[in-house]
Each structure stands twice: as C-alpha cells, then as structure tokens.
A and B are shown apart, each in its own frame.
Chain A
Amino acid sequence: MARVPVTFTVNGDEQAEFIAPGALLADVLRDKLGLTATKIGCAQGTCGACTVLVDGELKLSCLIPAERVEGASIETLEGLAKNGAPLHPVQAAFAENFAAQCGFCTSGMILAAKTLLDRNQEPDRAAVVDAISGNICRCTGYEPIIAAILAAAAEMRGRKSA
C-alpha cells in the first residue's frame, strides 16, 4: 500500500513522515516519532490515556487519523519540560502529591490538568473534577490527582504574584 506524506509540528519541532493511509495519530507519535509518553489504553476513545493537544485543544489521538492533523501544532507530555527543562508545576505537583501509581494514565491526566490551569487560574474542586472526567485512572482513586491539580493551581498563582 502506498504511503502518504504528513507534516505537522510536535512540541515545537516540525516533523514530516510517510505513513500508511489511515494511521492513527497516537501510533505515529509513538512508533514513528518515538514519543511514547502518549499511551494507548483502549483505542476506542473512552479512557483518555492517549490525550494530546491539537492546536491548543485536548483531543484523543487514538481516534484521529494522522492525515487529519496535517499542518497542525501538536503538544504531548514530552513538550512540557522539553530537553531537560524544569518540570512544569503540574508535573511537580503530581510528583509531590503521590498522584501516580502505575503511571499509565498520567500523561493524559497532566495534559488535561495543564489545559485547565492555562484557562482558569483559580479552579474549584468541581472544575478540576470536570477537567479530568475524561481520563480514567484505575489505581489512585482520583483523590491525590485532584489534590495535585489544586496544589499546582495554588503554586502557579503564587509564582504569578511573586
């Protein structure tokens, strides 16, 4: 089957690949570009593990054919603290608050959290719950994740006013 070219930006870097037609964005990110932070939990669009940002919007990469994002700007977890940069406050808060066990849902969770905090610096618990309701976690029972996100919000507000 003839491969098709696709070009897009990932975490600020332009990428160009030849892919099988219909190849999913999640598979292209993981297998072609080696960006394995994005996980595939269901390939049905119901668990959120494959969450990435496409042109600033949260999307499920297991449901998107890569050709559909031709020319778009994609962000994955690897872009948050790129090339050894310090951890983003959300990442640090997850670490400090023991908000991960097996870690498999963590990429999607952090991107959902980061996107919330980019838009809302003072989320209440309900807003946090709403933001992560598309991400399934089987290990933590969610409470430490909610605590981490609220802590990250407070930290980010503190930095802004400092």
Chain B
Amino acid sequence: MSKVRGRGVAAVNYPTGMNLGGDPSQALVHATTTGNFVVSLSSTDLGQGLKTVMAQICAETLGVPVETIIIDTADTDTGPHCMGTFASRGTHRVGNAIIMAATEAKKALMDVAADELEVDADDLETDGKGNIQVKGAPTRSMPVFQAALAAHFKHGKTVSGRGIFLVQRSYPEPETGHMRPATCYAHACTVAEVEVDTETGEVAVLSLKSAYEVGRALNPKMVEQQIVGGAWMGMSHALYETTEPYYPARDHGPVDFNEYLMPGPGDIPEFQAAILERPSEDGPFGAKGVGEMTANSPIPAIANAIFDAVGVRVDSLPITPEKVLRGILEKGIASSEQRK
C-alpha cells in the first residue's frame, strides 16, 4: 500500500449576471423620520449575505452609518421588481439599483440641509457618522435625522430615491453566436494538492491554494465565506456527489444523506486564499459576482492533481475511488506493488 501525492492547477473566469443580460432589478430608498433609511427590495438572501452587503452599499452612497440602514425584503407588494438571486447577479444588479436610489435620496436630503444651514448643497458632505456638515467647517452641522424631520414636517419634501439597473439584453446571432454574455468577469486559479491511496483509490485533498479576482471585495469576510464554502462544494462535486451513480442508467439513485455523499468536517483540506481586485466598469464600487465561481476551479485542479500523483486520467465526475482504482490497476501500479 502506498499513498502518492500530486499537484494540479486550474484557471477560470466567470460572468456576472444573467447570461445575455435583460435582468433588471429595482430598489427604493426612503428616509424615516427616526434617522433610518429603508431600502425596499424584493430580492432574496440565500445565505450569501445580500442583506448585509446591500446595507453597506447604501451606507457608502449616502455617507451614513451602516447601522442606520434597514433592508426590507422580500415582498412583491412592497418591494419593486427584482429578477431574482441567481447567476451571481445580486451584488451587481441590486447594488447598482441601490446606488441610484440612494443618490437621489441623498440629493433630496442635502437640499433640505442646505436650506436649514443656509449654504449651497454643494458645500455639504455627510460625515459617515450620522451628520451633515459643511465641508471644511465641520462644526457647522446637523444630524441626518434632523434634516429628515425638517424635510417632512417643515419643507414638505420627500427624502427618497428610486433606482433600477438593467444590462440591455443581447440576442445571439444564430449562425455565429455573436453575443454579449456579460459586462464583466471574475477570475480564479486553484492549485490543488492531493494524496491518492493506491490500494483503495481514495483521494484525500491535502490543500487548496487559490487566488480570486473579484472586482471589489465589498465585505472581505463574506467574500471569504463564498470562497471557503465554494471550494468545499467544488471538492464535493469532484470526488463525491451524484444523483445517478451509474449515469446514464438511473439505478441506485440516492435518497438520503447516507447515500448522497459529501465530505464531512474531517475531510476538508488546508485552505489558503488570496484576493485580487480589478474593479469592473459597471459594478457597484467595481464589484463582480463571485458566489458561483468559487466552486469551479477546484474541480479540474483536483482531477489534474490525481493525474500528477498516479498517472490516471478520470475524465468523468465524480472521480470516485472505484474509477481511480480501476485506472491504477490498468496501469499495473497496484499489481507491481503487490508483487513486492
């Protein structure tokens, strides 16, 4: 019996948004008279943390503390249209809609504050702490919520904004396929190190070392969540999962988690990641969608590492111990081991 190590690499890119565009999202922002800003959406959070990042985007645009942002989602009666959360579109599309809405709301707010403070609106800025102050003369200021109150009760003005972001839909040319799939792409490169047991064909992933180019990491810890969770799912896809183990025959399809295999907490590799940022031209603060890409590069990296280790190509997923062992036996490695 021996365990043999190998290393493999894969490099990929991934488009942001629904393929070919045509997937708008809207957002509404309004100031309450209590110092909050409500962002009304009909977008869904699947766990990737959309509700948090949207609040950060709104806070950055308005220049107010993120704690004052309330994300109100999802209800089709009160939230304006959103195409949905898929295709790594949420941050890009919904984020841009929020920037547009918050920009309009901010202008209304600053116009009222300008009146209250008797200056030009252009001479004002928000301090990120909940106040509106005169540029260069921060002692001349008023709390944001006071401006919102004044807008409502004194000036009779709304402090609110509307936003929409739409990438115009592209129609593929039928003969050549000329089309515009996306306006920006994220990138990933993974180096996988594996150890193959030549007696059983089992593959342990020792490490995954990856670099990700994400446009702009709006919340680095949450980008890390996608990276680590995605890498795990990629490893699972490469080595464990199938609903049809004898595809294309449909026999023995798993019906519970005893039969549908995924790596457990004891199977996870050492993980290292690096983030690069090349801001997209049209993403919110340059962000690109990353939720899907993170599962993709580990899969071929692991396959290539297995070849590097034992000289066996398994060109079908999942790469089960059975397939690896058959390859090893065909190459005669195991039989020569047994002869020793």
Is A121 among interface residues, defined by CB-CB distance under 8 A? no
How close is B206's CB to chain A, nearest CB, in angstroms? 15
Task: Write out the residue numbers on chain B whose beta carbons fall within 8 Å of the beta carbon of A65.
Answer: none
Question: Is B265 touching A146 in the complex (CB atoms < 8 A)?
Answer: yes
In the complex where A101-B49, A102-B46, A133-B264 touch, is A140 in contact with B257 (Cβ < 8 A)?
no
Number of A-B pairs, beta carbon distance below 8 Å: 63
B48 at the interface (CB under 8 A from A): yes
**Could you tell me the distance between the alpha carbons of A133 and B49 in the complex, rounded to whole angstroms?**
25
Cβ-based interface call for B185 (8 A): no
B232 beta carbon closer than 8 Å to chain A? yes
Q: Across the two chains, which residue of chain A brings its CB closest to B264?
A: A133
B222 within 8 A of A: yes
Complex interface bits, B23-48 against A, C-beta within 8 A gives 1, otherwise 0 = 00000000000000000000000111
Instruction: Determine whether A79 belongs to the interface, using a CB cutoff of 8 Å to chain B.
Output: no
Chain A residues 53 to 107 lying within 8 A of chain B, measured CB to CB, are 98, 100-104
A42 touches B (CB below 8 Å): yes
Q: Say if the beta carbon of A142 comes within 8 Å of chain B.
A: yes
On chain A, the number of residues with a Cβ less than 8 Å from chain B's Cβ atoms is 26
A47–B255 Cα gap in the complex (Å)? 12
**Known contacts A98-B221, A102-B47: A139-B257 contact under CB 8 Å:** no
Kindly identify, within residues 174 to 223 of chain B, every residue whose CB is under 8 Å from any CB belonging to chain A: 221-222
- Chain A 115-150 interface mask (CB, 8 Å, partner B; 1/0): 000000000001011101100101111111110000
Contact across chains for B46 and A142 when beta carbons are under 8 A apart? no
Kindly identify, within residues 221 to 245 of chain B, every residue whose CB is under 8 Å from any CB belonging to chain A.
Answer: 221-222, 224-225, 228-233
Cα(A142)–Cα(B230), bound, Å: 11
A161 at the interface (CB under 8 A from B): no
Smallest CB–CB gap between B290 and chain A, Å? 14
Residues of B within 8 A of A145 (CB): 265
Q: B314 near A: Cβ within 8 Å?
A: no
The answer for the CA separation of A12 and B49 in the assembled complex, in Å, is: 34
Flag whether B266 is at the interface (Cβ < 8 A).
yes
Give CA–CA (A145, B262) in the complex, Å: 17
- Among B48, B49, B229, B233, find the residue whose CB has the most chain A CB atoms closer than 10 A: B229
Q: Which chain B residues have a beta carbon within 8 Å of chain A's beta carbons?
A: 46-49, 221-222, 224-225, 228-233, 256-258, 262, 264-266, 268, 271
